[in-house]
Every structure is written in C-alpha cells, then in structure tokens.
Structure 1
Amino acid sequence: MTGQTVLFVEDDDTLRQATVQALELAGFAVRAFSGAEAALTAIPPNFDGVIVSDIRMPRMDGLQLLAQVRARDPDLPVILVTGHGDVPMAVAALKDGAFDFLTKPFAADHLALTVTRALERRGLLIENRRLRAAAAISEAAGPLLDESGAMARLREQVRQFADTDMDVLIEGEPGTGKDLIATMLHRGSSRCARSLIVVPCEALSDEQAAIELFGHAADSVPHTRLARVGQIVASSGGTLLLDAIDALPLPLQARLLRVIEDREVQPVGAVRAEAVNLRLVATASDLSSAVRDGRFRADLYHRLAATCLRPPPLREREQDQLMLFAVFVDQAREQLGLPPYAMTDQDRRHLLAHDWPGNVRELRNFAFAVCNSAQSGVSSEPIDLRARVATFEASIIIDALTATGGNVVKALGLLKTSRRTLYDKLERHGIDPEAFRKD
C-alpha cells in the first residue's frame, strides 16, 4: 500500500502467523516478533510505520513496550491487542498514549482499517517533521551561507546526518561554526522536541567531569545523600553535545566509549548501569593530533570519526566573505538599533587583506565592531541585502581594475580569486576591463 511497515508482536505462534498473513493479504509490509525486546531493537530512527502488539506477553508485556516506545518517540502509533478481560487495562493504555486497541478475536478488516488510520497519521507526522527540520536548518544556517558551494555541500551533509541517530564528530578550527552545526543537527532531527544538552569539556576538572557526565548514586559522594542525574542521562531522547571533547580526561574517555558502545550509563557509586537513548555530537579542533600526542584514545577517536563533518576555515571561502560580512552587518544593525551602514574603503581593505585566523566568529565580531563605532557615512535609505552585496562586490572589482589599469592578471592577484570566478563576476556586473586600460 504505502511502503510503510507494521511491526507485529505476539508470543503465540499460531496467532502470530495468522495475523501476519491477514496483514500481508491486506497489502501491508509486516515484520513479526515473538517478544517485545526484539521488536524494540528493530525500530529504526524516524520509523515511518506502526506497532501492533499483544498486551499479555512474558518478560516485557505490551504496556511496557508502549512505555519504551513513547520514551523514544511519543508520536509513534502503538495498537494494542487484548482479551476481553483486559479491556479496562487497554482503555487506561489509551490515556497513556496508545493509538487504539483491538479485542480478541478481531476481524481482519477491522485490523486493516485501524492499521491504515495509524499509518496515515504517521505518514503525515513524518512529513511534517521533515518540513520543520528543513525549515529549522535553513533558519539556523546564517553563518554557513555561501556562494562557492563548499558550505552548500556541508549543509546537505548536515541534513542527511540530522535525519539519523548516528553519533557525529564536528572537527574544525575555532570560529568555523562547529556549535552552530551541532545545533542544526539537533533541530533537524526527530529529537528536536527534547533538549540539546551542552557540556563544555574544557571547563570541567577531573573530579567534576565524572559526576557531571555520569551522575552519582545516593550516598556515594561526601556531603550529599541525594543522587544526581548526569548529563548523559539528562540528554536521553535528545542530543548530547560534548564541546571540545579532546579536553575530556583520559580515564573518562574509556567510560564514555563504553557508553557509546552499550548505550548504558553507570553513575558513580551505582551497582547497575541504566539504559540511555543517546545521540552524541562532539566537537574538536583536531582529534588526530590529540591521538598522536597521547591526549585522546585512538579507539574512541575511530569510533567518533566514522561520521565526521569538517567546516572549512574562512580563508578557504574567499567568495563567501562579502556575503557573510553583509549578513553580520545587518544583524548588528538590528541588534544595536543602528541605521543602514555604508562600508568604507578601510573596511574593504581589511576584508581583502586579512587572513581571518578567528574564522567566521572573528568576521562577525569585526562587523559588529565597525557598526557599533560608526559615527558617519551611513545611508538614510534601507538597502536590500543582495543589492548591498552586489554593489560592494562590484566596487571591489572596479577598485582592483582601476589600480591595475585594466590588467586582469594583476587584478586576480589583488582579489585572490580564480580567473573563471572573476570573469563570471565581470559578466554578472557588466564590467568591461577594457574601460580601465591606460593608453
């Protein structure tokens, strides 16, 4: 019918086979399980199907399965199957979030109709999530705007990774937008309704780090009898961001690796580990160097680096500097309540000559600084952002051609761009280098 899958859970072999056959004859794709535990492990991130489960089962029953499913995804439809004696229990389950319930024996067409309604709702919800995720990523992507294409590829990777539950390493120089990318990953995921928990590893002492991350059991820490929930558990169902993970003390790196592998956390002083619905995002400047220096475990690095995003430094995005500066100028004007700002020759020279070791963060600070300190030279009329960028870009090209007497090769050296890019921009702005040649 729709390609969506029904996960059917029933411990009775005969009933399970008969129900699977009825669902398949109705056109549904079905995966059958004899126990709730196996069904739970088979639910992928952003699962677009539904779950049909018997209530009375050994080990984990249908109500416990419902609770586990809702902890992962409150909007995933669960249809419960019950005997006549369990109807009050099933009605209570509806209040706890079950989509519907069927009493045994049920007609095949009644089952098909209920599953169809659940799949329709799930399909609409998944589509709305995707639309909201795309909108959230676009809204958050300001400093990742580009004209050259490098950041467009990065944004596409962010969209792809956001739609999964994979752990992600974001590796890049300071100021390249690693925290922003982590926020985009969270906002674009099915976990966006839960919290993004940020742990700045550089700010943690060795003593603090274990308790901050893993928590502690009651009576296990001096001067307190209360248990403390660690940030890993607090992030369950949401996203955990370990900022500057290379600063995490080595002994805790081994414990973190076990958490990543087992999806279980054992608080300090606790006897047992507890399951956690973890999605980890980590940032670092250069983890491979930390491994070589002995500051970071190689096994943890290789586990994290399997899914890695690397935002390029601003010096490799020369064509993006004009657009970004204009964006930040507009942000500064709005936040500081200033009128439109006209870029000066001094601003232009700085943009062209500076190497931006602080990357996008430094460029943003520069834009805010020039707007805040401006005493004159502001325009009285609002200027469209694209028009401002185009005017600024054309003026820089004109300045370069004027200085070089229309010599395109020398202008390329001043502009620090490729021949193809320059000719594209000359055509776009209607600039003829011959007009600048000196007799």
Structure 2
Amino acid sequence: MTSPESNSRGAIVFIDDEADLCTAAEAWLGVSGFSVRSFTSARRAIAETDPDTVDCLVTDLRMPDIDGMGVLTHFRRIAPDLPVVLLTGHGDVSLAVAAMREGAHDFIEKPYDADLLVAVLDRAAERRNVGRELFRLRQRAGDDALESRLVGLSPAMTALRRAVLQLANIDVDVLVTGETGTGKEVLARALHDFSRRAARPFVAINCAAIPEAIFESEMFGHVKGAFTGAAGERIGKFEYASGGTVFLDEIESMPLALQAKVLRILQERVVEPLGSNAARPIDVRVIAASKVDLKAESEAGRFRPDLYFRLATVDLAIPPLRDRREDIPLLFSLFAAAAARRFGLGDGAPLVPPADLHAQSWPGNVRELKALAERTILGFGRPGDKAGKALPPLADRVARFEAAAIEAALREAKGSTAEAAERLGLPRRTLNEKIARYGLRVPG
C-alpha cells in the first residue's frame, strides 16, 4: 500500500467479508477525504498491509477465515501503535469488551452510522499522528532539539521555531508577547540556549515580583554604604548576566520611573550601581515579555513609548492555544507521558487525549492543558471531578455499550438471567455482578 497523499485525512484499511459493505465504505470514506483500501479477506489484508503506511485499520469482528480478534492480535504484535477499530454485531458485546482489553482503539456496533465512523477514524488518525510525533521528539530529545522545546505542528509554531533559529545569534533585543500560560519564558530560554551565549547565565526577572524600593539595587547592584544596611558591594542582575541573557518577564508592570533607567541600559549597555559614579559596561541580550499589548499601553501613557520602540525591534507573538488547536492532542499526550514517568505511574506511553479537548477555550493556555494532563494521569480528571470517578471517554463508552446490551438481552429473555447470560456468552454470576454494578432493573 502506498503512503497517502499529504492532503489525505488519513490512510485506512477496511476489512469485511461482505463485498457490498467494503464498496460502500470505500466510497463514503473516499468522499470524506480518507485514502482507503478494502479487503474481503482478512488473510489477504494481513499479507498485503504495511502498517507503517496506515493510520487506522477497521475490521469486522466475525469473518470466516481470520476473525477480527485474530486481525487485532496480529497487528498488536507487529505494530502496537496502529489503531484498530472493530465492527461488532449486537450480540458481540463481550467480545468487544475483551478486544478493548487487548488494545483495540474502539468498536462500532453494526449497522453503524457513517458519520460516527468518520468521527472515530478522525480520532484514530489523530492518535496515530500524535504517536509518530512523540516518537520523533523522543528520538531527538538527546540532541535537545528545538522541536522538543517549542512543540507543535501548527504553522504558527513552525514559524516561531524558524524565527528562533534565525535570531538566536543576532544580538538584537526581542519582545515576546502572549497570553498567560502560552510559554513566553520557554521561547526566551530557547533564544538563549540556541545562541552563542548559551554557556553564560540566563537571568529571569519577574518585574511584578520585585518591590519598587529595592528594584534598583536588585537590577543594577550597589556599592558598600550606598544605603543603610549596605554592608558590602553587590552586583546587580544585569551585571551578573554579562555575556548572557536577561529576561524581563511581565515588563508591563514595571513602574514608569524605573523604565527610564532600563531604557538607558538598553541604549548604553552600561550600569551604575547605587552609590557609585562609575558606569560599568555590560554585554547582555535583553528579552522582554508582556501579556498585554505594549503599543496600546504606551499610547495610553502607561508604558514609555521610547522603551516600547527600543524593545520591539523584533516582536515575537505566541498565539493562544485556542488559535492552534491542531497542537492540543500532541501537547496533551506529551505532558501526560512525562507526568506518568515522573509520578512512576507508567512507562510514559502516549495517552489517548479526551475527545472534547478541541472544544475547550483554554484561558490558561498550555499551562492549563499541562495541568489537565497531569490530573488525568493521577485519576482526577478535570478540576471538580472526584478522585477515581473520572473515566476516560472510551471507557465510559464501553460501559454504556455494555449496560445497554445487557438490558436488551434481559428484555429479549423476558427477565431470565440464565437465558440472558447464555445470549451474551457470560457466566451467570458475572452477569449478575454487572447488573448490580450498572444498577439495571431485571424485567419481571
């Protein structure tokens, strides 16, 4: 099978012993933008499918030569990351649940809705792409690749990585703008670490966290006796960072009087410690970050226009997460895998992202997404969920499917649990346990 075209929604292998179903699936999925190849023989599909060129495999559960469980077992062995979706009949709930335990990506009950199939395949293809990208990032992690710092497949993140490589060794000051939680310091550190200044200090200063009364001493240093309590000389953060980078975070919060002093440093590249008349030359690159529009702030008189124009020679804007939704699944899986390793709760294998991530507004941006991934790994889900009650969407769907199938079997058996257990292929005791677990009513 050849690789799908770059504009394909995903490469799908569809297996069903009914030729009409294969033809219909090929037509519908093809119109929907997928690249599809169908087989009426599972044996032939296994022989002719190269899993490296496939995004998802869909197989009927009951087939004459090799059944769906056999197909699943084969591909789980040779390509564990390939999503396999099973098509099941109404009476196959126990087999479907067993298949999920064996690693099936999902199952769909026949007769299936075509739109549902497309939605399931979209998620499967997304999971496949996330897995490939995670693998690529891990392979390059030892090289400290820029892709592992500024993660994302969106055009915006691709452009930011290109800008970092272009600007890293150019000694120009940079303004980084973006909402809270978008990763402004991550971008600043990348500019430093990929430059010739990387061996020298990266000094991060939160302008909102330093009291105005000690700001000058912290930033510019002081000499002995400069003020009461100045028992000795102390170099400031700018001088300490000489040869490296100073990162001024939340620069919009800096008082106007202090902005004038910072402007002089940027223009002259010298500092005068408190109590000293001698200017000391410094060699620093300055990267400033703001979560607000500094141009608008300067026009409103809340930020010095001359400092804004001095900083904004290069302005790198990090888009909010809601504007690069294609990056959300990859980021979630990356954060979840890292959390699993850190908490000792797994080997860091990719976690299937919740289905509704794209629908969120993400006011906290990447920081909020990271927190959700860590909560999910710990079993707490979203804020407000109770521990142990947050089921992954797929597990929840399996439970609903199973409960509905048991209810249907009980109705058909007119309340006879023995007959219902036989219809479902379950031991009677297991069926009774499931009836109690789901709180089902046995028809009288």
- Using the size of structure 1 for normalisation, the TM-score is 0.52
Residue of 192, 204, 226 corresponding to 1:186:
192
Contact kept, 8 Å, 2:141 with 2:148, in 1: the verdict is no
Is 1:169–2:175 an aligned residue pair?
yes
Cα deviation digits, residues 84-131 of structure 1 (max 9, x gap): xxxxxxxxxxxxxxxxxxxxxxxxxxxxxxxxxxxxxxxxxxxxxxxx
**Counterpart residue identity of residue 153, structure 1:** A
Q: Report what 2:251 is aligned to.
A: 245
Task: Give the Cα separation in 2 of the matches to 1:366 and 1:254.
Answer: 41
Contact kept, 8 Å, 1:140 with 1:180, in 2: the verdict is no
Cα deviation digits, residues 168-226 of structure 1 (max 9, x gap): 11111111110000110110111111110111111011111111111112211112231
1:364-379 to 2 correspondence within 5 Å? 364-373=370-379, 375=388
**Counterpart residue identity of residue 298, structure 1:** P
Residue of 292, 299, 311 corresponding to 2:299:
292
Contact kept, 8 Å, 2:333 with 2:350, in 1: the verdict is no
Contact kept, 8 Å, 2:223 with 2:274, in 1: the verdict is yes
Contact kept, 8 Å, 1:143 with 1:360, in 2: the verdict is no
Q: Report what 2:367 is aligned to.
A: 361
Gap change, CA 1:135 and 1:278, over 3 Å in 2: farther
* Structure 2 counterpart SS, 1:144: coil
Q: Report what 1:62 is aligned to.
A: none
Q: Report what 2:316 is aligned to.
A: 309
Measure how far apart 1:143 and its partner are.
Answer: 5.8
Gap change, CA 1:371 and 1:226, over 3 Å in 2: same
Gap change, CA 1:196 and 1:243, over 3 Å in 2: same
Cα deviation digits, residues 267-299 of structure 1 (max 9, x gap): 111111111111111111121232133221000
Measure how far apart 1:148 and its partner are.
Answer: 2.4
* Structure 2 counterpart SS, 1:221: coil
Gap change, CA 1:152 and 1:302, over 3 Å in 2: same
**Counterpart residue identity of residue 202, structure 1:** A
Q: Report what 1:223 is aligned to.
A: 229
Q: Report what 1:319 is aligned to.
A: 326
* Structure 2 counterpart SS, 1:202: coil
Gap change, CA 1:154 and 1:201, over 3 Å in 2: same
Gap change, CA 1:237 and 1:153, over 3 Å in 2: same
Gap change, CA 1:165 and 1:222, over 3 Å in 2: same
Measure how far apart 1:322 and its partner are.
Answer: 1.1
Measure how far apart 1:343 and its partner are.
Answer: 3.9
Give the aligned length: 245
Gap change, CA 1:293 and 1:141, over 3 Å in 2: farther
Residue of 279, 282, 286 corresponding to 1:273:
279
Contact kept, 8 Å, 1:143 with 1:177, in 2: the verdict is no
Residue of 214, 218, 225 corresponding to 1:208:
214
Measure how far apart 1:338 and its partner are.
Answer: 1.2
* Structure 1 counterpart SS, 2:208: helix
Gap change, CA 1:261 and 1:136, over 3 Å in 2: farther
Cα deviation digits, residues 20-50 of structure 1 (max 9, x gap): xxxxxxxxxxxxxxxxxxxxxxxxxxxxxxx
Task: Give the Cα separation in 2 of the matches to 1:376 and 1:144.
Answer: 33
Contact kept, 8 Å, 1:141 with 1:184, in 2: the verdict is no
Task: Give the Cα separation in 1 of the matches to 2:290 and 2:217.
Answer: 22
Measure how far apart 1:323 and its partner are.
Answer: 1.2
Q: Report what 1:338 is aligned to.
A: 345
Task: Give the Cα separation in 2 of the matches to 1:135 and 1:306.
Answer: 32
Cα deviation digits, residues 229-254 of structure 1 (max 9, x gap): 11010000011111111111111111
Supply the RMSD in Å over aligned alpha carbons.
2.5
Measure how far apart 1:150 and its partner are.
Answer: 1.4
Task: Give the Cα separation in 2 of the matches to 1:377 and 1:270.
Answer: 61
Task: Give the Cα separation in 1 of the matches to 2:262 and 2:358.
Answer: 44
Is 1:160–2:166 an aligned residue pair?
yes
Contact kept, 8 Å, 1:341 with 1:371, in 2: the verdict is no
Gap change, CA 1:248 and 1:155, over 3 Å in 2: same
Is 1:263–2:269 an aligned residue pair?
yes
Measure how far apart 1:377 and its partner are.
Answer: 10
**Counterpart residue identity of residue 263, structure 1:** R
Task: Give the Cα separation in 2 of the matches to 1:135 and 1:232.
Answer: 31
* Structure 2 counterpart SS, 1:348: coil
Q: Report what 2:28 is aligned to.
A: none
Measure how far apart 1:147 and its partner are.
Answer: 2.2
Unaligned 5+ segments in structure 2 are 1-139, 381-387, 398-444
1:423-438 to 2 correspondence within 5 Å? none
Task: Give the Cα separation in 2 of the matches to 1:224 and 1:299.
Answer: 33
Measure how far apart 1:146 and its partner are.
Answer: 2.0
Task: Give the Cα separation in 2 of the matches to 1:207 and 1:364.
Answer: 36
Residue of 327, 352, 358 corresponding to 1:352:
358
Contact kept, 8 Å, 2:178 with 2:290, in 1: the verdict is yes
Is 1:147–2:139 an aligned residue pair?
no
User: Percent of pairs identical after alignment?
Assistant: 37
Task: Give the Cα separation in 1 of the matches to 2:218 and 2:148.
Answer: 32
* Structure 2 counterpart SS, 1:294: coil
